[in-house]
Structure formats: structure tokens, C-alpha cells
């Protein structure tokens, strides 16, 4: 199996920590990153990974400096894993602009800035993997999860556009969105709940707390198993052997059920409104220019 070098964000726990432990155990080289890395990632030093302090919400120039530092550690980076994130709970009316901005800074601007930092290196080499650890919440909105869903929807759109840009001009660079259902990590135990501001939404906030406790205590999916399969996908082994890798791959029966349910509803809606949708088309021969490739 070909050894690779990985840069992973959000390694203090959860998927990030699992990536570090599984990859180093396989002999891959890993740059494990996180905020306050000297203390928060100290438990990963015994893995042999390079520990790098990296706040994904830092300005672009700082992100580029950190990426170069990671690259120089081993002379290359083969796979960038954008994993850092958290869940901010609260109804849209109660979420402040500042809270929403923090979610976007971490889960939209952070991955995009790191992608910008990686692309010049990957373009020069002609290859590289760009992984985005996303969620079913990037396709299905959830009550009480406005900030999280909005940020996850946003990165899906950005990466889909990126995938078409790369397919056109740099096909050796592969973006991949991992759409995860609920797996056995600490994320559900570390939810950030909005400060109650509107009494009307108190029942929703309490329901979110009850649901998160249940998801944490009885998760339907195994996080180590999922991380193992994501690694196989990048390496083209195991579950990925002989298969073409799409832009998005869901993990978890709960995720798949939610997504298929939404797709069915969308198909029904679009079919019912097909005549209205088509009614605004230009007459034949007066249509605008074709779109760009992709």
C-alpha cells in the first residue's frame, strides 16, 4: 500500500484523532493540527505525528504560512482533511449574527482558505486529495440547527463548484465530500447551545438537548469504522477497490435514509411544478449562451 502524507484539522478528538491514530499505525506520515496544539494535542505525540498549532479561523496569510510549514515538515502533502468543526444549536430567530459568523468562519471560510493554500502546491504537482468531513446536515436542514446546517450547506456548494473547476483544468486533484450521519464521537456531547433569548423557542431548545443526549449515548454508526473506510477510499483499497470515486459519499444508515427521503420529496415537488418551471423559458432560438463546462 502506498504511504501518504496527510494534513488533518481538528485533531483533538473525534474523527480527527481517529484519522491520526489509524494513519500513523499504517505507517503514513501525518501533520495533526488544532488550536492550542501543545496542550490539546499532547495525547497524540506518542503516535509519531507532527503536531502543528493551527486555528482554521485565522486570516488567509496565516493559513498559507501554516500550510507551508506542514508541507515543509515532510516535503509534501498528499491529502488535506478539512475536519475541524462544532455544532451550534438554536432556532434561526435566536441565533445571533456573531454566532452564525463563527460557524461560517470555522466550517466554510476555514476549509476554503486551507484549500486556497493547498491548491498552488497540488497544481504544481498535478495531484492531491481535498477531503471535506461534512454531514447529512449539508443536504437536509434540521430544526434548531440553523448555524450548523447553513455552514454545511454552504461548503457543499463551494466544493461542488470547485470540483467542476478542477475537472476542467486540473483533473488530477480530487475533492471528496464525506457526508456523515451520527457516529460514535464526542461531538454530540459538546454541542454549543444558544443563550435563550426568545421564550417561544424553549420547547425546541429542550428537544434539541434531549435528542443530542440520545444521539451521544446511542449513536447508530461506528466512527472508527467510518474513518477506516474513508482512508480506504483515498487509497483505492477495501470498499473503494476498482470503483470510481464520486464527489460525495454518505456514511450511516440514518444519513442515507434522510437524504433519500429528501430526494423523493424533491422529485415529487419538481414533477408537480414542472409546467410552471418550464413556463419561463425563452422561445426556441432565443435562448442564452451555453454554460461553462462541468
Read off the pLDDT of each residue in 45-61 and give the average, rounded to a whole number: 98
- The CA angle 61-62-64, to the nearest 5 degrees, is 65
Predicted local distance difference test score (pLDDT) of residue 239: 98
78 belongs to a structural domain: yes
CATH code: domain of residue 77: 3.40.50.720
For residues 268 and 198, is the Cβ–Cβ distance under 8 A?
Answer: no
291 belongs to a structural domain: no
167 belongs to a structural domain: yes
Predicted local distance difference test score (pLDDT) of residue 159: 98
287 belongs to a structural domain: no
The pLDDT tens digits for 92-120 are 999 999 999 999 999 999 999 999 999 99
pLDDT higher than threshold 90 for residue 2: no
Predicted local distance difference test score (pLDDT) of residue 186: 82
DSSP state of 90: B
Say which of 86, 121, 148, 270 is annotated catalytic: 148
Average pLDDT, the chain: 94
pLDDT higher than threshold 90 for residue 266: yes
Predicted local distance difference test score (pLDDT) of residue 287: 67
204 belongs to a structural domain: yes
Read off the pLDDT of each residue in 12-17 and give the average, rounded to a whole number: 96
Domain total of the chain: 1
53 belongs to a structural domain: yes
Q: Is the pTM of this model over 0.85?
A: yes
Is 121 annotated as catalytic? no
Q: Which residues contact 123 (CB under 8 A, 6 or more apart)?
A: 170, 173
What residue numbers bound the domain in which 233 lies? 5-252
CA distance 38 to 36: 6
113 belongs to a structural domain: yes
288 belongs to a structural domain: no
Amino acid at each position: 500500500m502506498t504511504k501518504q502524507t496527510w494534513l488533518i484539522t481538528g485533531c483533538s478528538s473525534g474523527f480527527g484523532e481517529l484519522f491520526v491514530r489509524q494513519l500513523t499505525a499504517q505507517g503514513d506520515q501525518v501533520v495533526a493540527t488544532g488550536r492550542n496544539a501543545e496542550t490539546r494535542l499532547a495525547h497524540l505525540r506518542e503516535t509519531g505525528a507532527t503536531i502543528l498549532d493551527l486555528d482554521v479561523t485565522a486570516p488567509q496569510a496565516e493559513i498559507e504560512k501554516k500550510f507551508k510549514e506542514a508541507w515543509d515538515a515532510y516535503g509534501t502533502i498528499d491529502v488535506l482533511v478539512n475536519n475541524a468543526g462544532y455544532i451550534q444549536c438554536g432556532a434561526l430567530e435566536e441565533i445571533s449574527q456573531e454566532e452564525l459568523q463563527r460557524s461560517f468562519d470555522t466550517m466554510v471560510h476555514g476549509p476554503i482558505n486551507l484549500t486556497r493554500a493547498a491548491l498552488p502546491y497540488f497544481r504544481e504537482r498535478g495531484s492531491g486529495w481535498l477531503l471535506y468531513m461534512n454531514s447529512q446536515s449539508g443536504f437536509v436542514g434540521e430544526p434548531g440547527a440553523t448555524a450548523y446546517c447553513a455552514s454545511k450547506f454552504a461548503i457543499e456548494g463551494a466544493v461542488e463548484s470547485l470540483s467542476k473547476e478542477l475537472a476542467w483544468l486540473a483533473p488530477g486533484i480530487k475533492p471528496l465530500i464525506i457526508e456523515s450521519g451520527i457516529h460514535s464521537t464526542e461531538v454530540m456531547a459538546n454541542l454549543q447551545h444558544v443563550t435563550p433569548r426568545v421564550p417561544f423557542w424553549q420547547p425546541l431548545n429542550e428537544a434539541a438537548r434531549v435528542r443530542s443526549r440520545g444521539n451521544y449515548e446511542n449513536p447508530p454508526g461506528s466512527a472508527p469504522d467510518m474513518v477506516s473506510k474513508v482512508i480506504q477510499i483515498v487509497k483505492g483499497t477495501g470498499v473503494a477497490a476498482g470503483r470510481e470515486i464520486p464527489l460525495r459519499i454518505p456514511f450511516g444508515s440514518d444519513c442515507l435514509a434522510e437524504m433519500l427521503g429528501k430526494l423523493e420529496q424533491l422529485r415529487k415537488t419538481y414533477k408537480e411544478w414542472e409546467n410552471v418551471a418550464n413556463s419561463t423559458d425563452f422561445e426556441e432560438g432565443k435562448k442564452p449562451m451555453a454554460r461553462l463546462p462541468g
